[in-house]
Chain A
Amino acid sequence: MNGKVAVVGVGYSPLARDSQRSVGSLALEACREAIRDAGLDKTDIDGVGGIFAADLPTVWPAYVIDGLGLPNVLWSTCAFPPSINAVVEGINAVFSGACKYALCFHAKYRWDSTSASAASDPMRRAPWRIPLDGSLSLPMVTPHGGSHPYAAAMHQHMDAFGSRREHFGMIAINNRTQAQRNPRAVLQEPLTMQDYLDSKEIASPFCVYDMDVPIDGAMAVVVTLADRAVDCARPPVYVEAAANGASSPNDMMLFSDQFHVPYEKIMTALWQRTGLSIADIDVANIYDGFSILTMGWIEAIFSGRGEGAACIEDAWDEVQQQLRFLGRIPMSPHGGNLSEGRLQGFGHLNEAVLQLRGQAGPTQVHGARRALVTNGMNPVCGAMILRSENA
């Protein structure tokens, strides 16, 4: 992209464990706020991209188009998660000329299928269910009973590379420390290493702090071409490069040895497409649906395979209780999915935009000019490098 496309609006609904609102209302609010943030109105938006939710049902782009009364939409899609994929689609749509202003959104809800507590709330009953088995392989594994593949992957990493629970704890604590500066974050109470280590393991070696927090919430952005972006209300944040992809073999159920491959492929693509390196990055919003996924990204971005634990130790600031990679790069100033809440990576992107505008408020990284945003896991992940208008 090399700066030819820009993010010009960001929007949030309230984020909450129990919003006392419908998921549709959250989607509409986030989208309305993103359009207003850009200084645009309903007639300007001619593209809408959503995300097929991992917790069903999905709020379709059509719901937003109808709910906001958008009269001029010529392009819409519903991409596979993680969240960044909707925005990559939107970037491609404005770049190709399919639309001028693409509204990209994601809404998450604690549906009755999310947890036992949600299941006991009659207002969380999903109106419809569609089985989700994109790998066409669930019947091959379900007869053997429940498992937690990410706990198994974490154990495998510890066994192969000597990482310890403390290293994953530093990821979780960093994000909680950061979240305490983010008024939107759902989890703000301080988290100590002792809290982390004492926490009951849900599936050894994995505890509740290793997984993102399910919430009600929605986020949205508006993207457009750079020459239109300068006429919008806010400072444009330019897309230097975006990539998404997967490795093969990639079956989530079998967890092949390809754990690192998609992260490495995507990061290689981003550096090659931009000519940039990690030295050019001021803030890194690294995906944290599970802490083991953050470990995978950290190795692809900073350290190389198997060196993540040592890299995290080097980056750990015991006084500040946070990570600073290369002595300076903070990770996820918003608190990530682990603490801001589970928007499947959308918060990582919105935070990057606010950082690069200099409008991140209490979480602002002074002088941030370029941000790296990563989303997802094998088999589907994506990442983006964004820059401020001053870079």
Chain B
Amino acid sequence: MSLNKKPILRMSYDTEAYWMGCQRQELLINRCMDCHAWHHFPRWLCPVCWSEKIKPVAVSGLGKVVMFSLTGRRPVAWIELVEQVGLRIYCALVEVEPSNVRIGMEVRLGWEDYGESFLPVFRPLNNTGASLGVDK
């Protein structure tokens, strides 16, 4: 297994592909090659059928806000990805006023440079994203 051993990222053998995808600005979510169920966070086996034939697969980056919090310096949200009901990722929301965040809001993926890695962020689907340097 080739490891890009970044000093700050705390990756495990289960999360390595996710983090390496982030560095390429590619959001990889684990998918079962037997029953095709997606799961997140990354695990070694499929929680549905117990197969260990798991592959990190790039997702569309489309989803909707199912929960959000406004206590931090900017909104964060639990986002359900369109690939599967219940498939959630936790990310910062950008390009939206906190008072405008809504449950059910459609969002799409972008990336922010955190130094040692890019990290996924989401912004409202209807934004142009012009202020974000990177768009997938």
Question: Could you tell me which A residues sit within 8 Å of B by CB distance?
Answer: 20-25, 28-29, 32, 42, 66-69, 122-123, 125-127
Cα separation A221 to B12 with both chains bound (whole Å): 26
Cα separation A101 to B5 with both chains bound (whole Å): 42
Cα separation A28 to B14 with both chains bound (whole Å): 12
Q: Is the CB of A67 within 8 A of B43?
A: yes
Q: Which residues of A contact B6 (CB under 8 A)?
A: 122
Q: Is the CB of A25 within 8 A of B45?
A: yes
Q: Is the CB of B44 within 8 A of A21?
A: yes
Interface of B is mostly: loop
Contact partner of A68 (CB less than 8 A), chosen from B1, B3, B12, B50, is B50
Q: Is the CB of B45 within 8 A of A125?
A: no
Cα separation A260 to B69 with both chains bound (whole Å): 55
Cα separation A68 to B44 with both chains bound (whole Å): 10
Q: Which residues of B contact A67 (CB under 8 A)?
A: 43-45, 47
Cα separation A20 to B16 with both chains bound (whole Å): 12
Q: Is the CB of B44 within 8 A of A29?
A: yes
Q: How many residues of B contact A (CB 8 A)?
A: 19
Given known A20-B1, A42-B50, A68-B50, contact A123–B45 (CB-CB < 8 A): no
Contact partner of B13 (CB less than 8 A), chosen from A28, A29, A123, A126, is A123
Cα separation A67 to B45 with both chains bound (whole Å): 7
Given known A25-B14, A122-B5, contact A69–B48 (CB-CB < 8 A): yes
Cα separation A181 to B10 with both chains bound (whole Å): 38
The answer to the question of B7 belonging to the interface, with a C-beta cut-off of 8 Å to chain A, is yes
The answer to the question of B11 belonging to the interface, with a C-beta cut-off of 8 Å to chain A, is yes
Closest chain B residue to A125 by CB distance? B10
Among A22, A32, A42, chain B packs the most CB atoms within 10 A around the CB of A22
Cα separation A329 to B11 with both chains bound (whole Å): 46
Cα separation A29 to B13 with both chains bound (whole Å): 14
Shortest Cβ distance from residue B14 to the other chain A in the assembled complex, whole angstroms = 4
Q: Is the CB of A123 within 8 A of B16?
A: yes
A-B contact pairs, 24 of them (CB 8 A): A21-B13, A22-B13, A22-B15, A23-B12, A24-B14, A24-B44, A25-B44, A28-B43, A28-B44, A29-B44, A29-B45, A32-B45, A66-B47, A67-B44, A67-B47, A68-B47, A69-B47, A123-B3, A123-B5, A123-B12, A123-B13, A126-B10, A127-B10, A127-B12
Q: Is the CB of A32 within 8 A of B50?
A: yes
Closest chain B residue to A124 by CB distance? B12
Shortest Cβ distance from residue A18 to the other chain B in the assembled complex, whole angstroms = 11
Cα separation A280 to B130 with both chains bound (whole Å): 79
Cα separation A273 to B1 with both chains bound (whole Å): 52
Within 8 A of A (CB), among B1-38: 1, 3, 5-7, 10-16
Shortest Cβ distance from residue B20 to the other chain A in the assembled complex, whole angstroms = 13
Q: Which residues of B contact A32 (CB under 8 A)?
A: 45, 50
Shortest Cβ distance from residue A70 to the other chain B in the assembled complex, whole angstroms = 9
New A-B contacts (12) at CB < 8 Å, excluding given A24-B43, A123-B5? A22-B44, A23-B12, A24-B14, A25-B45, A32-B45, A32-B50, A67-B43, A67-B47, A68-B50, A123-B16, A126-B10, A127-B10
